[in-house]
Homo-oligomer: A and B are copies of this chain.
Amino acid sequence: MNIAPGGDRLHAQIEFALEIDKLKRVIRRNTLMDGSRRENDAEHSWYIGMLAMVLGEHAPPGTDLDRVVAMLLVHDLVEIDAGDTFVYDRAAVAAQGELERKAADRIFGLLPEEQAKRLRELWEEFEERRTPEARFARALDRFAPMLANHRTEGGTWSLYKVTAEQVLENVKIIEEGSPALGAYAAEMVELSVSRGHLARS
């Protein structure tokens, strides 16, 4: 497009906008809460952004929830190039780092420089999980599919033969971001095991 108003910055921002629309076509393993179809990354990002707004009181006091929301909206953009990695596929997770860094270079690089830097820093903060904001964001990112699996009688857990012990490692990540959500998640795991929807190894 060669549209003048707004100049080069707006032009670059629109190119970025057109590019990130592709996140709607990156399909995750887990399904919607009713099991009707698999979820895409864009609607997943909306969903956990909403969770941050609604479950924010379960983050440590002082957590900047606006920053958590921003981080969650951005956190999966690299998957436009790198694809979604199933959290229980350890080999794929290990190989993913370099792919995602390259994706971040290309995708955030479409933006004017200081904007690219700001959005990339949000993504890196999410990945590094050092701040309370990043730990809470990651907790929500793990919590949502766990809720879906719990609601769909096992969902991807049964489909991919994931064990309760593996799921409990994710519960730890939730707990690190939010003790209350961690306790809720642990309870979901117990219930799913007792109902026969999640197997112990």
Contacts and interface: CB of A to CB of B under 8 A. Distances in A.
A3 B9 CA distance: 50
Contact of A18 (B39, B40, B151): B151
B57 A9 contact: yes
A21 interface: yes
A88 interface: no
Interface in A16-57: 16-18, 20-25, 32-34, 36, 39-40, 42-43, 45-47, 49-51, 53-55, 57
Contacts of A24: 32, 39, 43, 47
Given A21-B33, A70-B69, A151-B18, A5 B43 contact: no
Contact of A115 (B46, B47, B54, B69): B54
A32 B43 contact: no
Contact of A54 (B17, B184, B188): B17
Interface residues of A, number: 55
A73 interface: yes
A6 interface: yes
A111 interface: yes
Q: Which residue, of A17, A34, A151, has the highest number of chain B Cβ atoms within 10 A?
A: A17
Interface of A: 1, 3-6, 9-10, 13-14, 16-18, 20-25, 32-34, 36, 39-40, 42-43, 45-47, 49-51, 53-55, 57-58, 66, 69-70, 73-74, 111, 115, 119, 147, 151, 180-181, 183-184, 186-188, 191
Given A5-B183, A42-B42, 8 more contacts: A3-B184, A5-B184, A6-B181, A17-B55, A49-B73, A66-B66, A69-B70, A69-B73
